[in-house]
Amino acid sequence: MGLADYTTWRVGGEAQWFAEPDSREQLQALLAWAQREQLPWGVIGAGSNLLISDQGLPGLTLCNRRLQGLALEASSGLIEAEAGEPIPSLARRAARAGLAGLEWAVGIPGTVGGAAVMNAGAQGGCTAEVLRSVTVVDPQRPEAPFELTADQLDFAYRHSRLQLEPLVVLAARFQLQPGQDPAAVSQRTSANLHSRTSTQPYQQPSCGSVFRNPEPQKAGQLIEALGLKGLKVGGAEVSPIHANFIVNTGGATAADIDQLIAQVQDRVHAAHGIALHPEVKRLGPFEGLALAA
Ligand SMILES: Cc1cc2nc3c(=O)[nH]c(=O)nc-3n(C[C@H](O)[C@H](O)[C@H](O)COP(=O)(O)OP(=O)(O)OC[C@H]3O[C@@H](n4cnc5c(N)ncnc54)[C@H](O)[C@@H]3O)c2cc1C
C-alpha cells in the first residue's frame, strides 16, 4: 500500500503490511497478529504531521481514520471521541452544542488520536487544556485497554508521553465548558478558521508548521528574515505564504522535503546559532538527518 495517499504532504513509500481497522476490536486483533509475527508496527492518524520515507515502512502500518464516533453530553460538556474522529468536525460539533474550548482546533486537519499524541494546539489553545483522559492499548497486551488521565500524559508544548511509549490511543475524553451560546462559539470557531486559511497555504499539500518555535522566537519569522521563502529542493518549497510551512508543489519526494528541512536548519543555525527542531515526525529511513524530531 502506497502511503502517499495517507499523508497530507502526499509523499511516502509503500507499507509492507497496511490495515485500516473499522473497530477497536479489529485494531487490537491486528496488533496481536503483529506481535505473534514479531513484526514492527506503527499507527498513523490523518498523516498530517508525518514525513514518511520514500523507501516506505517495514512491518505493519495501522491507520486509525476509520475508528470514528463521538458521544457528546451538552449539559456537562463531556465528549468521548474515538481516536479516528477528525478534529475539525469535533470542534464544529462542540460549537453547535454550545460547548466552548475547542474553537482553536477547527483548522487542524488531524484526528483525536494524533492530537492527543502531539498535544496539538493553535491560536492560544491546546489539547492538554481540554483533554481529560485517553483509552490506550499496549501492543504487548492488546486484549487489555486501559485509561491514562491528562496528568499522567506529561503534556508540554507539542509533546506528550505518548510520543515516547509504544501505546495506541483508542479514544479520548474531553471536558468543555457547557452552557455557551452556540452561535457565538460557532462564530469564534469560523473566525479562527478564516484567520488561518488567509495566512497559511491551505491549498497546497503540507504538514502545517514544520519546526517547533524556539521560544520566545517564532520559527517562521527567523526563516522569513533570512529570505528563505521560495527556497526549493525538487518539488518541495518553503512556502511563499508562510515560512514555517514546506509545501509539495507537485512531485516532491520525502527526500526533497527532508533535504529542504536540513537546508533551513543549517541556514538558521549559521545566522543565529539557533537549532530548529522539527515538529513533524519522520517515519522510516532517511539519510543525513540533521536534527531528529
Ligand atoms: C494545513 C495544516 C495545518 C496544521 N496546523 C496545526 C496547528 O495549528 N497546530 C498543531 O498542533 N498542528 C497542526 N498541524 C499538524 C497536525 O495536524 C497535528 O499535529 C495533528 O495533531 C496530527 O494528527 P494526525 O491524526 O494527522 O496524526 P499523524 O500525523 O498521523 O501522526 C502524528 C503522530 O501521532 C501518532 N499517532 C497518530 N494516531 C495515533 C494513535 N491513535 N495512537 C498512537 N499514536 C498515534 C503517530 O504515530 C505520529 O507519531 C497542521 C497540519 C496541516 C497539514
- Please spell the DSSP secondary structure of 159-223, one letter per residue: B-GGGTS--EEEEEEEE-B-S--HHHHHHHHHHHHHHHHTTS-TTS---SB-B---TTS-HHHHH
Phi, psi for residue 255 in degrees, rounded to 5: -65, -40
20, 44, 210: residue to mutate for ligand 1 pocket, most atoms within 8 A of CB: 44
- CATH of span 70-197: 3.30.465.10
Is 115 touching ligand 1 by the criterion CB < 6 Å? yes
**242-288 pLDDT per residue, tens:** 999 999 999 999 999 999 999 999 999 999 999 999 999 999 999 85
Of 65, 158, 166, the residue nearest 116 (C-alpha) = 158
Q: How confident is the model at residue 291 (pLDDT cuts 50, 70, 90)?
A: very low
List 282's β-bridge partners, or say none: 51
Give residue 140's pLDDT.
94
Any atom of ligand 1 within 6 Å of the Cβ of 47: yes
- Domain 219-283, second-level architecture: Alpha-Beta Complex (3.90)
Task: Please state the length of the chain.
Answer: 293
Q: 18 pLDDT exceeds 50? A: yes
Question: What is the whole-number distance in angstroms between the Cα of residue 122 and the centre of ligand 1?
Answer: 12
pLDDT at residue 160, rounded to an integer: 98
C-alpha 79/C-alpha 117 separation (Å) is 18
Instruction: Assess contact for 161 and 153: CB atoms under 8 A.
Output: yes
Whether the per-residue pLDDT at 237 is higher than 60: the answer is yes
- In ligand 1, the atom with minimum distance to the C-alpha of 50 is 29
Would you kindly state where each structural domain of the chain is located, as residue ranges? 3-63, 70-197, 219-283
Q: pLDDT value at position 208?
A: 97
**Beta-bridge partner residues of 50:** 281
Average pLDDT value over all residues in the chain: 96
pLDDT by residue (tens digit) across 44-91? 999 999 999 999 999 999 999 999 999 999 999 999 999 999 999 999
Q: pLDDT digits over 161-214, tens only?
A: 999 999 999 999 999 999 999 999 999 999 999 999 999 999 999 999 999 999
Q: What percent of the chain is predicted at pLDDT more than 90? A: 95
For ligand 1, atom 10: residue with the closest CA: 120
Q: How far is the CA of 86 from the centre of ligand 1 (A)?
A: 10
69 and 82 Cβ atoms separated by less than 8 Å: yes
CATH classification (class only), 3-63 = alpha beta
How far is residue 272's CA from residue 270's CA, in Å, rounded to a whole number? 6
What cell was used for 10?
502526499
189 CA to centre of ligand 1 in angstroms = 19
Catalytic residues, by residue number, are: 158, 209, 279
Burial 100-123 (b: 16+ CB within 10 A, else e): bbbbbbbbbbbbbbbbbbbbbbbe
- Give yes or no for a contact between 281 and 50, defined as CB atoms under 8 angstroms apart: yes
- Residue 280 CA to ligand 1 centre (angstroms): 8
Amino acid 244: pLDDT? 98
**Closest atom of ligand 1 to CA, residue 67:** 41
